[in-house]
Amino acid sequence: MNEKDIMKLVEQVMLELNKNNNEENSCSSKDIIDECKNVMAEEGEIPDITEVNLKSQILVPNPANKEEFLKLKNATPARLGVWRAGPRYKTETMLRFRADHAVAMDAVFNDVSEEFLKEMNLVSIKTKCSNKDEYLTRPDLGRKFDEEELQIIKDKCVKSPQVQIYVSDGLSSTSIEANVRDVLPAIMQGLEGYGIKVGTPFFVKYGRVPAMDVISETMGAEVTCVLIGERPGLATGESMSAYIAYKATVDMPEARRTVVSNIHKGGTPPVEAGAHIADIIKLMLEKKASGLDLKL
* Domain 3-109 fold: DNA Binding (I), subunit A (1.10.30)
pLDDT at residue 12, as a whole number: 66
pLDDT at residue 34, as a whole number: 57
pLDDT at residue 215, as a whole number: 97
pLDDT at residue 201, as a whole number: 97
Q: What is the DSSP string of 187-203?
A: HHHHHHHTT--B---EE
Q: Is the dihedral of CA 283, 284, 287, 293 positive or negative?
A: positive
pLDDT at residue 92, as a whole number: 80
Contact 198, 192 (CB under 8 A): yes
| Three-state secondary-structure class, residue 23 | coil
In which residue ranges of the chain is CATH 3.40.50.11240 found?
114-293
- In whole angstroms, how far apart are CA 15 and each of 9, 18, 19, 144, 252? 10, 5, 6, 53, 57
In which residue ranges of the chain is CATH 1.10.30.40 found?
3-109
Q: Report the chain (296 residues): mean pLDDT per 10 consecutive residues.
A: 61 60 46 53 63 81 90 86 86 84 88 95 96 95 97 95 97 95 97 96 97 97 97 87 97 96 93 97 97 91
The answer, as to whether pTM is greater than 0.75, is yes
- Phi/psi at 241 (nearest 5 deg)? -125, 160
Contact 214, 144 (CB under 8 A): yes
The CATH superfamily of 114-293 is Ethanolamine ammonia-lyase light chain (EutC) (3.40.50.11240)
pLDDT at residue 20, as a whole number: 53
Nearest to 281 by CA among 224, 215, 221: 224
pLDDT at residue 27, as a whole number: 46
Q: What CA–CA distance (Å, rounded) separates 166 from 225?
A: 6
| Three-state secondary-structure class, residue 89 | coil
pLDDT at residue 176, as a whole number: 96
